[in-house]
Chains A and B, each alone.
Chain A
Amino acid sequence: MSTNSEQSRPKKVTLVVFSADMDRAIAAFNIAVGAASMGMEAMMFFTFWGLNILKRRGAPSTSRGFIRRMLSAMSPKGPHNLPLSKLNMLGMGPMMMKKLMKKHSVPGVEEMLVLAKETGVKLVACTVTMELMGISKEALIDDVDSYAGVAAYLGEASQSDVTLFV
């Protein structure tokens, strides 16, 4: 690649979304959607607990094996059902936070997923942790752009101007 075309390529942001905490997810989506709105390319790589953010609402769990079924039962059921990283208080915290956010017109994770799609943020799901945690493609929303592993992430991240682990 010539120096010229490197200078003219759009700036890129990649985020590893490891956590399924609502507050962390909102921060990650804010950055990704903000970047896309600034003409940057944005990619979010969802792994481990972060996969729960991409779960389809009401998708039946098809996890096989006792441990996976327990894991599935004890994990957030989707973007509408995420805990807070602090002051979760058995679900009271997220309820109060959602109320506050609504009052101040701050988009929640579900709205952020829509905005991410609209602004062209790429959503990538980690296949290793999907397998490990027994999360099938059918259990995830259709908006997932691709299913990939660490090489795909590193390929993108090494070309990125900003990369963050949330």
Chain B
Amino acid sequence: MESDFTLDTYGLLCPMPIIKTAAKMKELQPGQVLEVISTDEGIKEDMPAWCKATKNEFLGIEEDGELYKVYVRKK
């Protein structure tokens, strides 16, 4: 999936991927897409929940071996 920014949270466990995503999203303009790379399986549930709470758009997850690539569009 196309993205404007990438955030690498390789090896980090909950809640760090979410905390780093929240901080990174502040740099994005509305409409831009952030790709978050994570090795924490919890991200599959956490990122949709984070998007719902913060009113950002959850675009989907691609699984690539041990990596989860999560896509979020800033509202």
Contact = CB atoms under 8 A, between A and B. Distances in A.
A119 B12 contact: no
Contacts of B59: none
A62 interface: no
Given A37-B22, A38-B22, A38-B50, A105 B15 contact: no
Interface in B1-27: 11-16, 18-19, 21-23
Interface in A103-135: 104-107, 115, 119
A38 B12 CA distance: 18
B15 A37 contact: yes
B54 interface: yes
Given A33-B19, A115-B19, A119-B19, A38 B53 contact: yes
Nearest to B53: A38
A40 interface: yes
Interface size grouping (class) on chain B: 10 to 19
Nearest to B14: A30
B55 to A, nearest CB: 8
Contact of B54 (A33, A38, A105, A107): A38
Contact of A37 (B11, B13, B18): B18
A105 B9 CA distance: 10
B37 to A, nearest CB: 14
A105 B12 contact: yes
A107 B19 CA distance: 12
A33 B20 CA distance: 11
Nearest to A10: B53
A105 B19 contact: no
Nearest to A118: B23
A107 B53 contact: no
Best-buried of A30, A38, A104, A119 by chain B (most CB within 10 Å): A38
Interface of B: 11-16, 18-19, 21-23, 49-50, 53-54
14 contacts: A11-B53, A34-B14, A34-B19, A37-B15, A37-B21, A37-B23, A38-B18, A38-B53, A39-B22, A104-B13, A106-B16, A107-B16, A115-B19, A119-B22
Interface of A: 11, 30, 33-34, 37-40, 104-107, 115, 119
